[in-house]
Amino acid sequence: MSVRAQIFLPMIVLSLSMARPVCADTPSLTEARTALATVSGRLRVPGLRAPVRVARDKWGVAHIYARNQHDLFFAQGVVAAQDRLFQMELWKRSGQGRLSEILGSGSLQRDIDARALKFRGDLAAEYSSYAPDAKAILTAFADGINAYVATLQAPGGPGLPIEFRIAGFAPDAWHPEDCLNRMAAFSMTGNAKSELGNALALREIGAAKAAKLLGFDPPVALDPAPGLDLAGLSPELLENLIGSDPRIGFVDAPHQGSNNWTVSGALTA
């Protein structure tokens, strides 16, 4: 049975800055600061089974110490919502094809494309393909997000993060299935065009000649999955994959970058 437990947040000072509001109906700087996440002291959150300790290091990174797996991922949901609730809501709506509800008609085609990629299969079968405890983990994570949002909106609570007040909407309740989001994976498929070209070459001239034509360095074995049918492949498939909205098209190779690179300021201009 769920009990009302506490998350202990050791004191840490975070330096934050916010531009002054420029619109008369924009919340004040004082109101914005009031709505900042509590990262020190004690936070009472219903749904935990035992107390959880969250220690934030000097970079603000949360380290969670829990007595059981449920509370570990429940607390992760709380902490993630503390740090990124607005961003998470946008990502969730992005995957659901619901951005136009809050951003207007300019996002409609983007939503249509997202819904074309939305998973509509058997969720029980989907969960069975993961680790046995995956659903329990995702459920605890979603419950943690919802519990934290409830504390914000409770009588006497600080209210939602200032971004929601400025944007004029509130976050929806989270569900475990919201984490099964294909749009995040879609952003990592920028090589779809080259992969399709490789598959077409493999189909037309065979593995040996395709390997020479493509010239992989170091060599890569062209070993498609047994029984894979390449007959239906065509360049037009990319149009169906990307959709008609150029804003979610793939970036040209010369403009690509990576968030995996960190360069010292001493080595840059």
Q: Which residues are catalytic?
A: 258
193 vs 215: CA distance, rounded Å:
17
Give the Cα separation of 28 and 14 in Å (integer): 20
Among 91, 84, 103, CA closest to 167: 103
Residues 81 and 55: their CA atoms lie apart, in Å, by 16
Task: Compute the 3-state secondary structure of the chain and give helix, strand, coil in percent, each to the nearest 5.
Answer: 50, 10, 45
**Coil, helix or strand at residue 65:** strand
CA distance 110 to 1: 42
54 strand-pairing partners:
64
3-state class (DSSP) for residue 187: coil
**CA angle, 66 as apex, 36 and 51 as ends, to 5°?**
70
